[in-house]
A and B are shown apart, each in its own frame.
Chain A
Amino acid sequence: MRKNLLLVLALVFIIAFSGVVMAQEEDEITLTIAAGAVGQEKATAEEAAAMYMERNPGVNVEILDTPDLANDRYGLYLQFLEAESSKVDIYQIDVIWPGELAEHFLNLYDYGAKEVVDKHFQAIVQNNTVDGKLIALPWFTDAGLLYYRTDLLEKYDREVPKTWDELEETARYIMEEERAAGNEDFYGYVWQGNAYEGLTCDALEWIYSNGGGKIVSDDKKITINNDKAIEIIDQAAGWVGGISPAGVTGMGEEDARSMWEAGNALFMRNWPYAYALGNEEGKPTAGNFDVSPLPAGDSGSSAGTLGGWNLAVSKYSEHPEEAAKLAMFMAGEEVQKLRAVEATLNPTIKSLYEDEDVLEAAPFFGSLYDVFTNAVARPSTATAPKYNQVSEQFFQAVHSVLTGESDARSAIEYLELDLMDTTGFETGEPTQP
């Protein structure tokens, strides 16, 4: 009995150790990318990872699923970074985070990024450069777009709205007609009204397009307290429970998209990723919609908030060289093209906007090129490193107006005081081109 036991123990040891030795011989390293999973982001990232693994034996790439809402994702990242964890090598970071998180990331110029940055949009490269260090590579860019149902506009003989008033009028008319025709769940306009970063994007678009500035101006003046801003926020509050469902104040991108794709909305404000998904076979929206710039307000011109995500390599990675190489591959032409074609994620590489395959998959990349290059940036640079607090105060104020807890004037007046408290900036008049 005892002999048997010894034998078994010896066997276990041999197997265990040989496993270790074999693993060492293979010398496989694992790199983890914390990436988004909105729409087809994750699927295409995994596809790209598989390509990389095939070409680089010995490297195992894992995609870590992260929360859909940017604020939740930020929270998760902070926990990794506070612990100086080496579990994640590459982070997909929002266009508004470089200023706040720069200290945790490697300078990619030290890893050969100099040669590739010229291919990308310079505005984004600049956004990702902190104190002369490139802390993240642009991965895809975003701008808010208006999705509209071509079939319904045609049916009721209406034009694509150019102003918010037109949008309101058209939405109300078609919504009433459609409901009378039997689709009781039909709404005019869905957007992102939950109390989170997405509302900051949506509300910035309303305000900027109405000539109300961009919350905090580039020269560090708090400009939010003006009549134009208050007027348009009031107007948007009027949509809730009217052309938009009352529950829009709880909607994020994916909630809006699911309602839109079910065929229950005439207009939707969303990012480009919803384009490929809306055209998937079997969905009521497939082939029945198109995109245009968002409507304009009093300023006379439309505004789409600049979004987009970038790849940053963690300072705490155990394999910085390999991780930087992988990040460079992921942000490179091949992967960006793949993601543009399959998931309509906007490339940050200029030449891809002339690529035939890309333009075939997403014709609006070409026709709305200006929207993407002229998108309005959130005031993350002016308010860094306090942008997140500024944004939170902003979306909470707007949200309180949307839900009717507060009137727009009081909410914005308090917001102004709060922002002065948080940033220490003076107030000023909004200036817009």
Chain B
Amino acid sequence: MAISSSSNLAKEEQKLAFKLLLPAFLILIIIALYPLGQVFYTSFTNREFASSTKTEFVGLDNYQALLSFTVKELDPIIDQETGEQAVDEETGEKQFQRPIRVLPRDPHLYRPAFEFSFFGNKYVVGARTPDFIRSVWNTLVFTFFSVFFETLLGLIVALVVNSEFKGRGAMRAVMLVPWAVITVVSARMWEWMFEPTRAGLFNMLGDRFGLIDGSYSFLSSANLQLPAIIAVDVWKTTPFMALLILAGLQLIPNELYEAAEVDGASKFRQFFNITLPLLKPSLAVALIFRTLDALRVFDVFQVMLSQKRYSMASFNYFQLISARKMGMASAIGVIIFIIIFAFAILYMKSLGVDTE
């Protein structure tokens, strides 16, 4: 008797729990699962944005267009007179055939995404949408470097404002200012500082100290674009990192340091044996936050580089808004989703974040 009544009670409770959870589930379905499903569905169609043209189901076409690539070897150009490989007279570089001669055109046009050399042979990677492949690469580079520098600088800043000194409270507040500025506003601000003439801060300073000639175009020359964008993001998001790490630092009990002091451990040793291990959980959370955030970066790229260079998200935006390919844009959205999901799982596994 007693057993059955308790199991009845458990069942009742389960029912109640289910009822109580139902609204949350419904909301989740409406605001998360439904739009996501819609994007998945649209990614299999050729829907056009803001148009009444008929939408057709095209299967995996969008994904194929985005992801197919091919690697071809570029044949060296043979000089007719000498019988050896021709060399550019100006640069002294060996000449190879141009990718347009070797990449397939039928049934789909492959365009060069990038070239690389391997044992003296030159290869070209062709893709049907090289801009997308490049945008993924840009985003990964951006994510790696910005998160790396933000973590490093954030840790230093957190350690500084965690130590006792006069005006610590004010310092902590001031530290947060860059993070409080809206990204679009700070991106515009930096855009002015990056001006390609001496009207821009960096060119002015560089010119004054005789480092550069005052006409560096940070935002239009290919080598400087990503470093410039990463600098903006590091400036803006380091405070956020510092804040998260600071919270972790404050959880570490002072007694540990006192004991270490008594045992004669150096400050250096204290940092690596006490601070870092105990900081690991907070660092892991901070890293996950920032990495996932950086992977879907949009605003800095859109404001500062627009269509000069894409991140995954800004490429997605331009496919939707400028090319009006809603099906294609949805497929990109799905791919971004999968990439970010993969990163999340990777982090959880490798950093041993407890999910329970």
Binding site for B on A (CB under 8 A): 69, 71-72, 74-75, 78-79, 81-82, 103-104, 184-185, 194-196, 241, 245-250, 259, 262, 264, 385, 388-389, 392, 396, 399, 403, 405, 410, 413-414, 417-418, 421
Contact = CB atoms under 8 A, between A and B. Distances in A.
B188 interface: no
Contacts of A79: 50, 321
Contact of B323 (A245, A388, A399): A388
Interface in B176-198: 195-198
B322 A246 contact: no
A82 B50 CA distance: 4
Interface of B: 49-52, 98-100, 105, 109, 111, 195-199, 214-217, 219-222, 306-308, 317, 321-324
Contacts of B215: 241, 245-247
Given A247-B217, A250-B196, A388 B324 contact: yes
A80 to B, nearest CB: 9
A403 B196 contact: no
Contacts of B221: 246, 403
B307 A250 contact: no
Given A246-B220, A410-B100, A418-B109, A392 B307 contact: yes
B222 A403 contact: yes
B214 A184 contact: yes
B106 to A, nearest CB: 11
A81 B50 contact: yes
B111 A414 contact: yes
A248 B196 CA distance: 8
A199 to B, nearest CB: 10
B50 A74 contact: no
Nearest to A69: B306
Contacts of A417: 100, 105, 109
A56 to B, nearest CB: 31
A75 B320 CA distance: 9
Contacts of A248: 196
B182 to A, nearest CB: 17
B308 A399 contact: yes
A184 B215 CA distance: 11
A215 to B, nearest CB: 17
6 contacts: A71-B322, A184-B198, A194-B220, A245-B196, A247-B220, A388-B324
Given A81-B50, A403-B221, A392 B322 contact: yes
Contact of B220 (A82, A264, A385, A403): A403
Contacts of B220: 194, 246-247, 249-250, 403
A258 B135 CA distance: 32
Contacts of A71: 306-307, 322
A264 B195 CA distance: 14
Nearest to A250: B220
Contact of A247 (B51, B196, B317, B324): B196
Contacts of B222: 403, 405
Contact of A103 (B52, B197, B198, B317): B52
Contacts of A414: 100, 111
Contacts of A392: 307, 322-323
A247 B49 contact: no
B322 A75 contact: yes
A74 B220 CA distance: 23
Nearest to B128: A421
Contact of B217 (A82, A196, A250, A385): A250
A75 B321 CA distance: 5
Contacts of B196: 245-248, 250
Contacts of B323: 388-389, 392
For the complex of A and B, 3 pairs with smallest distance between CB atoms: A247-B196, A75-B321, A82-B50
A389 B196 CA distance: 29
A78 B217 contact: no
A259 B322 contact: no
Contact of A82 (B49, B195, B317): B49
Contacts of B197: 185, 245, 247, 259, 264
Given A82-B50, A389-B323, A195 B109 contact: no
A225 to B, nearest CB: 11
A74 B98 CA distance: 36
A346 to B, nearest CB: 27
A246 B308 contact: no
Contact of B307 (A196, A264, A413): A196
A74 B52 contact: no
Of the candidates A196, A392, A414, the one having the most CB atoms from chain B within 10 angstroms of its own CB is: A414
Given A245-B197, A250-B217, A417-B109, A410 B98 contact: yes
Given A78-B321, A78-B324, A246-B217, A103 B51 contact: yes
A81 B220 CA distance: 32
Contacts of B214: 184-185
B72 to A, nearest CB: 15
A417 to B, nearest CB: 5
Contacts of B199: 185, 262
